[in-house]
Structure 1
């Protein structure tokens, strides 16, 4: 539940339009410092003012797509949001010089969509369907 004082303060900081959008999508009114943006267009924020937010909820992501799931956050940003790293990937020297071992760009989990992985089987089946053999009449 958002208090009236916090609601008014948030409207003053981010504006009525952004406040309304936040209430529709994340059901909370948040205002903080813009930290960075990832390759998918997700925006990351942090509120360093400790008395305004519940501990552990002062970092958040504003997802670009609103048909969202957790796999739309890349691993480097996930480590920052989860407090595994103190510096965001844009400022962290280790993350800047890190090369992923797979050399492929990160994609979200596509399970349940048309782009989901579909395996194929190379093993002969144990059971074969019966096919009748028809002899030609003489």
Structure 2
């Protein structure tokens, strides 16, 4: 029972009942899943756009945050390439890092030295800092 209520009202934690209904009504077919568990769908019935393209969706696994979509799936969602990464994987260069979502506002966010929110140092600032004084100017 709680799962049904959660699917109806909790839009930020995976697909809601309305999203599932839309995917079913449009005959969306499952295309693939990324490393984070996000699922990707493409419209199965007639094309949605005048140029013949079909509508594409992502159903997030967990928090619905757009920066959690990896670059290869982002390109597929926005019709940059036709084939999904499950069929034609995006070639990776050896210098490329693994995709990370935006961590701003989370405990994993970057906090520079001297930041008030930095846990390990608190309010300590580097020794090369000198406060400005108007008398010395």
With the shorter chain as reference, the TM-score category is 0.5 to 0.7
1:47 aligns with 2:43: yes
**Unmatched tracts of structure 2, length 5 or more:** 9-14, 115-125, 133-137
1:59 aligns with 2:63: no
Q: CA deviation at 1:81?
A: 0.1
CA distance in 1, matches of 2:37, 2:18: 16
**Rg larger for:** 1
SS at match of 1:61: strand
The structure with the greater share of residues assigned to helix is: 1
Structure 2 residue aligned with 1:127, among 128, 131, 135? 131
Q: CA deviation at 1:26?
A: 4.1
- How many residue pairs are counted as aligned between the two chains? 105
For residues 1-138 of structure 1, the aligned pairs below 5 Å read 22-24=15-17, 26=19, 29-31=22-24, 32-50=28-46, 54-55=48-49, 58-65=55-62, 67-92=63-88, 95=90, 98-120=91-113, 124-127=128-131
**Unmatched tracts of structure 1, length 5 or more:** 1-16, 129-138
Structure of higher RCO (CA pairs closer than 8 Å, 6+ residues apart): 2
CA distance in 2, matches of 1:74, 1:123: 40
Native 8 Å contact 1:23 1:29 kept in 2: no
SS at match of 2:75: helix
CA distance in 2, matches of 1:91, 1:71: 23
Question: With structure 1 as the length reference, what TM-score do the two structures score?
Answer: 0.62
CA spacing shift, 1:104–1:46, aligned 2, 3 Å: same
CA distance in 1, matches of 2:54, 2:128: 53
Question: With structure 2 as the length reference, what TM-score do the two structures score?
Answer: 0.62
